[in-house]
């Protein structure tokens, strides 16, 4: 394949959030390994919209994923164009050394065809088996791959949102997200935070503000829970679970993988249908 030179892509914004948006009141429920997930945990997932697995992947599997990500950022595949840089380094991206680029990237997407180590973790057999249980026995199909990196002191917020506000799958589709910590994810460096059980309230209106997001006013003072995870830990979460991550103001890097699955063969809606559910138009609401 020939290399196509492309201009660097940037994340849309660097605006800081109000600290009150991310004040978790507790830590989420977890099990130790995939093998420890019981029928009660599956029920818990359906009621609360999430489940954490503290040791989902081995240190070797984590190291492989990091090596795969690093290789892509260092340019192992010049034909790979799915890299977005932090908005704050827009002025200096061209002057960064390849090493410095490692701490300037915000996200990568759609990389499995370019990096077999990342495809392998997305299709990890033990993980897929548990996702299938969460889908009531249906066969999961991977439809989205992302790596989300919060460089030290720079990594920006991902505002509160529901992932299904980004997808065209009909409401009622059991969309399952997985979020895998590659570094230790802490409250200080921007681990996931979510509203347990709120997936059952259905779609929330999203607005284009710092991102395509739930209105800050709606999230202020809400009782969120955090998902701190060691490397190799995993969060399983429902496509309608409101979640977000704060800015990383710590000195430690926070790298994570996020994959999404829907049952094989699920037909997508037209984009207008998604906006009828998640968009503000015609609903007499403001943010």
Ligand X SMILES: O=C(O)CCC(=O)C(=O)O
Binding flag, residue 257, ligand X (CB under 6 A): no
**Contact yes or no for 141/262 (Cβ under 8 A):** yes
Q: What's the half-sphere exposure (Cβ side, CA atoms, 13 Å) at 199?
A: 26
Q: How far is the CB of 245 from ligand X (least distance, A)?
A: 4
Residue closer to ligand X, measured from CB, 48 or 248: 248
Q: How far is the CB of 252 from ligand X (least distance, A)?
A: 14
Residue closer to ligand X, measured from CB, 239 or 279: 239
Binding flag, residue 162, ligand X (CB under 6 A): no
Residue closer to ligand X, measured from CB, 70 or 139: 70
Q: How far is the CB of 158 from ligand X (least distance, A)?
A: 4
Q: How many CB atoms lie within 10 A of CB 44?
A: 17
Q: Which of 174, 108, 196 is nearest to 144 (CA)?
A: 108
Q: What are the φ and ψ backbone dihedral angles of 160, each rounded to 5 degrees?
A: -60, 135
The DSSP result for 24-56, as a single string, is: --EE--EESSGGG--HHHHHHHHHHSEEEETT-
Tokens of 46: 């359906």
Residue closer to ligand X, measured from CB, 110 or 139: 110
Binding flag, residue 158, ligand X (CB under 6 A): yes
Binding flag, residue 204, ligand X (CB under 6 A): no
Q: How many CB atoms lie within 10 A of CB 264?
A: 10
Q: How far is the CB of 23 from ligand X (least distance, A)?
A: 17
H or E stretch covering 218: helix 216-219
Q: Which of 52, 25, 85, 33 is nearest to 185 (CA)?
A: 52
Residue closer to ligand X, measured from CB, 117 or 243: 243
Binding flag, residue 199, ligand X (CB under 6 A): no
Q: Residues 216-255 vs ligand X: string with x where CB under 6 A?
A: ---------------------------x-x----------
Binding flag, residue 64, ligand X (CB under 6 A): no
Binding flag, residue 163, ligand X (CB under 6 A): yes
Sign of CA dihedral 168, 80, 60, 54: negative
CA dist., res. 188 & res. 231, Å (int): 15
Longest dimension (CA), the chain: 53
Binding flag, residue 41, ligand X (CB under 6 A): no
Q: How far is the CB of 40 from ligand X (least distance, A)?
A: 26
Residue closer to ligand X, measured from CB, 101 or 206: 206
Residue from 55, 162, 189, 258 touching ligand X (CB under 6 A): that is: 258
Tokens of 221: 């003072």
Give the binding-site size for ligand X (rule: CB under 6 A): 9
Residue closer to ligand X, measured from CB, 139 or 194: 194
Q: What are the φ and ψ backbone dihedral angles of 18, each rounded to 5 degrees?
A: -70, 135
Q: What are the φ and ψ backbone dihedral angles of 201, each rounded to 5 degrees?
A: -85, 0
Binding flag, residue 256, ligand X (CB under 6 A): yes
Binding flag, residue 148, ligand X (CB under 6 A): yes
For ligand X, the binding residues in 171-190 under the rule CB under 6 A are 190
**Contact yes or no for 157/17 (Cβ under 8 A):** yes
Q: Which residues bind ligand X (CB under 6 A)?
A: 146, 148, 158, 163, 190, 243, 245, 256, 258
């Amino acid at each position: 394949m020939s290399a196509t030179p492309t201009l660097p892509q940037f994340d849309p914004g660097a605006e800081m959030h109000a600290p009150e948006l991310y004040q978790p009141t507790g830590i989420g429920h977890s099990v130790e390994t995939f093998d420890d997930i019981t029928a009660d945990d599956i029920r818990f997932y359906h009621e609360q919209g999430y489940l954490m697995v503290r040791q989902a992947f081995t240190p070797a599997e984590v190291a492989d994923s990091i090596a795969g990500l690093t290789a892509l950022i260092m340019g192992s595949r010049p034909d790979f164009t799915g890299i977005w840089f932090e908005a704050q380094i827009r002025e200096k991206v061209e002057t960064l050394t390849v090493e410095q680029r490692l701490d300037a990237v915000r996200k990568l997407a759609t990389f499995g065809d370019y990096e077999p180590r990342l495809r392998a973790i997305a299709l990890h057999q033990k993980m897929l088996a548990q996702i299938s249980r969460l889908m009531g026995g249906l066969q999961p199909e991977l439809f989205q791959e992302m790596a989300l990196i919060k460089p030290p002191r720079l990594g920006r917020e991902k505002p509160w949102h529901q992932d299904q506000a980004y997808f065209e799958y009909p409401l009622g589709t059991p969309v399952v997200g997985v979020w895998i910590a590659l570094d230790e994810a802490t409250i200080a460096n921007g681990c996931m935070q979510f509203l347990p059980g709120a997936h059952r309230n259905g779609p929330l209106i999203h607005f284009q503000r710092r991102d395509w997001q739930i209105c800050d006013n709606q999230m202020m003072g809400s009782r969120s829970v955090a998902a701190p995870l060691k490397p190799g830990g995993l969060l399983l979460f429902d496509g309608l679970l409101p979640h977000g991550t704060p800015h990383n103001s710590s000195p430690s890097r926070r790298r994570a993988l996020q994959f999404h699955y829907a049952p094989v063969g699920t037909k997508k809606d037209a984009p207008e249908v998604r906006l009828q559910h998640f968009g503000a138009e015609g609903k007499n609401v403001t943010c």
